[in-house]
Amino acid sequence: MITADRKPFDEIYAMTEGHDRVLVAGCDTCVAICMTGGEKEAEILASEIAIKAKQEGRELTVEHTAAIRQCEWEYLDTIADTVGGFPLVLSMGCGIGIQAMAERFAPKLVMPAVNTNMLGLPQEHAVWLERCIACGDCVLGLTAGVCPVVRCAKSLMNGPCGGAHDDGLCEVVGKDGEPIECAWVLIWERLKAQDREELMFAYRPPKDWSSSSSGGPRKMVREDAMPV
Amino acid sequence: MSTITLKAGSNLEKVLTSGAFAVTAECGPPKNADGTVIQDKVEILRGSVDAVNVTDNQTAVVRACSLAAAYTAQVAGVEAVMQMTCRDRNRLAMQADILGASMLGIRNVLCLTGDHISFGNHPQARGVHDLDSMGLIRMYRDLRDERRFQCGEEMDGALPLYIGCAENPFAEPLEFRARRLEQKVLAGADFVQTQSIFNIPRFERWMEEVRALGLHREVKILAGVTPIKSAGMANHMRTSVPGMDVPTELVDRIAAREKGEPQRAEGTALAVETIRRLAEVEGVAGVHIMAIEWESAVPRIVEAAGLLPRPAFT
């Protein structure tokens, strides 16, 4: 799923400057599951903004709403009437949702209230770990289901570098200061368990990054699903 | 007498091919544009080594580029091994740089993944890692032997190049490390430099695995040696440098001497002993001395290890 962090409150509050009506729009899919931008979190943020404005003696109307998914046009229709009454919308959807809102309701001002960070998997309760960068050229079949592109700090395709520790940890420490598992130690151990360790020694040529995100926006077309 | 066709004709290749025990030393470029820093280091090392190994933004800290520094070293009179990391360049730049380096007479390259960006002085930078060291070795081999760019297009003319790689016998998974060298040999490595060796028994076990795979006949193995300057440095390497295996006894041995010159002398003596032991290991073709910002120690270590004079080829 897509995960996001709420932006710092002061940064969000600064976006409301010069406005007297603000709508906080949540999204009830991915960002709700990571407890960042669902309807409940939209309500909380709206309250925080209203309290701060009241403390400052500022006239500000703040309401909240949520779409089931901000990234689908049909669901945006369900909140269109509400959105129409506000000159400023603070979207708590992921980057896709925010863009969909900005496009659907253009030229209305839609501002991001979250930082979208990754395609992650829950590691434990309230902890997510990035598992995919949508490179467009999946190698998981060769790497026992562990992605070296995203889980190896150097995106190595042919085994571990010289920096794996004896406890199976990467030399690189995570952004939160917590250790990272060496992806290639994980791959090696799982390949052995699958009795497929020879795959470890197969040469994997340089990745074809042209299917990745370096050539402008990627596009997917399903001709078989197009209306006749 | 059989004729051996050299791949690059570099001094290092000639020394290793002749069967002589090779000696190389690290030579780090400065964090500025002052070429005399390289010239001064070369002045110290000349006559004691077969080539100097010029680092490429080592530990992810910006320095003068390895290409220009390698050229400066060669102009100053000692052959260079130019390091090339996958961290700072994509496949276009890595091919362009090797062609340019060859134009300037550089014949040896060391293909590395590169220390991670987060360890350096620009941790906000985006690491490139377009391809990994295995892909880099193969790309250069294909340029040299197939005269083809990575994309498959043909390249006119020759690219004389002696291709090196690095391997760490002390990193996890240990059971995989000799096979990893085999992968690099299959990719096209002509020589390999190992991580600094302090745990000799562990290195000997790795070499047993290397010999069992027959790799010592396929690739020239330069054993890495780092002279220890102080007990503090030894302890730092033991506890804080990833992929280093420094036994506590060695730290204790250095720490038993007084700080300053006595510790430096003990570190130098230890390096000499290490080289002598490594030279006895079947399949070790030479040593690579990584005297970090301590080039002045290299000549006396090489001399004390009985490795002078260096072979000369016409």
- Using an 8 Å Cβ cutoff, are A184 and A170 in contact? no
pLDDT tens, position by position, A9-29: 999 999 999 999 999 999 999
B174: number of CA atoms within 13 Å, CB side?
13
Distance (Å, rounded) from C-alpha B25 to C-alpha B23?
A: 7
**pLDDT per residue as tens, chain B (314 positions):** 456 789 999 999 999 999 999 999 999 999 999 999 999 999 999 999 999 999 999 999 999 999 999 999 999 999 999 999 999 999 999 999 999 999 999 999 999 999 999 999 999 999 999 999 999 999 999 999 999 999 999 999 999 999 999 999 998 888 889 999 999 999 999 999 999 999 999 999 999 999 999 999 999 999 999 999 999 999 999 988 878 899 999 999 999 999 999 999 999 999 999 999 999 999 999 999 999 889 999 999 999 999 999 999 87
pLDDT of residue B2: 56
- From B114, B130, B150, residue closest to A209, measured CB to CB: B130
Cβ-defined contact of A162 to B176 (cutoff 8 Å): no
Cβ-defined contact of B176 to A207 (cutoff 8 Å): no
Using the Cβ of B168 and the Cβ atoms of chain A, whether some distance falls under 8 Å is answered with: yes
pLDDT of residue B176: 86
Map residue A166 onto helix, strand or coil.
Answer: coil
Q: Looking at the DSSP assignment, which residues form a beta bridge with residue B163?
A: B109
Cβ-Cβ contacts under 8 Å, B93 against chain A: none
Distance (Å, rounded) from C-alpha B94 to C-alpha B90?
A: 6
Name the minimum distance, in Å, from the CA of A93 to any CA of chain B: 26
For chain A, which residues score pLDDT lower than 50?
A: none
The dihedrals phi and psi of A110, each to the nearest 5 degrees, come to -115, 120
pLDDT tens, position by position, A73-110: 999 999 999 999 999 999 999 999 999 999 999 999 99
Edge-to-edge strand ranges of the sheet holding A109-112: A61-67, A21-27, A88-91, A109-112
Distance (Å, rounded) from C-alpha B193 to C-alpha B213?
A: 18
In the numeric block, which tokens belong to residue A98? Answer: 């925010």
Find, in chain B, the residue whose alpha carbon is nearest to that of A161: B113
A192: CB partners within 8 A, 6+ apart: none
